[in-house]
Amino acid sequence: MTDLTPIIQMTDVSRIFGDFRALDRVSLSVLPGERVVVCGPSGSGKSTLIRCLNRLESHDSGTIIVDGIELGEDTRDIRAVRQEVGMVFQQFNLFPHLTVLENLTLGPIRVRRMSRSAAEELARNYLDRVHIPEQADKFPAQLSGGQQQRVAIARSLCMEPRIMLFDEPTSALDPEMINEVLDVMVELAGTGMTMICVTHEMGFARKVAHKMVFMEAGRIAEIAPPEAFFSNPSSARARLFLDQILEH
């Protein structure tokens, strides 16, 4: 964290569905290499927040600048940002009609204009990194949930993004598979990747986060370093929330 210009700068961002404010004047800045964990009750706008960062969701007001590019209507800007921002979904969203290897090489070949052989080498490299080199030629449906999510992470990494977004990457997994995915994410954190992660895995948050963001009703209710957040949350709502999820 030597470079002090933020790689993500959200200023007064609002997103309104009908007459419901899913995001209400949210401001957040993230430095290169910084790891942010976002938590909060269901419906508080966590998904909306990170989906705005690669324009899967558009914002109605405020500004979002990612890696020096302001997100707006311009599709070329949007695609430029998406090339630098990887996203991992709760439901994996692997392409079921393609093999694992094809899932990984599609982006590099079509977007980065790599040759097939170079893309396959890159893909095998990242499959190694997520510890499933032997599954390259299988189809997603032949893998366990934990393996699928690791493929999905590898798919995003193959684009060699500068930022990784995670939207509850372990919520759809059986408990025994959660750790294999979290381990991969911890290793990724070790490489200095900028990460924004929506999760309720507080053990993981403690281990990797530089900064905790607590959301409530479309607003950021609290931003704090993890030590402070877990030991002494300033808002009553955050305290209640922590009590509830730490009970389990």
Ligand X SMILES: Nc1ncnc2c1ncn2[C@@H]1O[C@H](COP(=O)(O)OP(=O)(O)OP(=O)(O)O)[C@@H](O)[C@H]1O
User: Residues interacting with ligand X, by CB under 6 A?
Assistant: 17, 22, 40, 42-48
What element of type H or E holds 123? helix 116-129
Residue 211 binding result from ligand X, Mg ion, other proteins, none, given CB thresholds of 5 to 8 Å by partner type: none
**Choices 16-24, 102-110, 125-133, 240-248; region in contact with other proteins by CB under 8 A:** 102-110
Kindly give the pairing relationship between strand 8-17 and strand 61-66: antiparallel
| Burial (CB count <10 Å: 0-12, 13-18, 19+), residue 33 | middle
With respect to ligand X, which residue has the nearer C-beta, 44 or 105? Answer: 44
**Backbone phi, psi, residue 29, to 5°:** -125, 145
Reading the block at residue 82, the tokens are 């998406």
3 state SS of 74: coil
Q: For residue 82, is it left (φ>0), alpha (ψ between -120 and 50) or beta?
A: alpha
Residue 162 identity (one-letter amino acid): R
Residue 156 binding result from Mg ion, other proteins, ligand X, none, given CB thresholds of 5 to 8 Å by partner type: other proteins
Q: At its nearest, how many Å lie between Mg ion and the CB of residue 48? A: 8
Q: At its nearest, how many Å lie between ligand X and the CB of residue 41? A: 7
**What is the spatial distance between Cα 184 and Cα 145, in angstroms, rounded to a whole number?**
14
In the region spanning residues 31 to 90, those forming contacts with other proteins, defined by CB under 8 A, are 54, 56, 79-80, 82-83, 85-87, 89
148 touches Mg ion by CB under 5 A: no
Question: For residue 38, what are the β-bridge partners?
Answer: 198, 213
With respect to ligand X, which residue has the nearer C-beta, 46 or 82? Answer: 46
**Residue entry with tokens 């790891």:** 35
Q: At its nearest, how many Å lie between ligand X and the CB of residue 26? A: 11
Q: At its nearest, how many Å lie between other proteins and the CB of residue 68? A: 16
Residue 86 binding result from ligand X, Mg ion, other proteins, none, given CB thresholds of 5 to 8 Å by partner type: other proteins
Q: At its nearest, how many Å lie between Mg ion and the CB of residue 144? A: 23
17 touches other proteins by CB under 8 A: no
47 touches Mg ion by CB under 5 A: yes
Cα distances from 185 to residues 21, 60, 130, 150, in angstroms, run 31, 32, 9, 9
Question: For residue 91, what are the β-bridge partners?
Answer: none
Residues of this chain that interact with Mg ion (CB under 5 A) are 47
Task: Tell me which residues touch other proteins (CB under 8 A).
Answer: 54, 56, 79-80, 82-83, 85-87, 89, 91, 93-97, 106-107, 110-111, 152, 155-156, 159
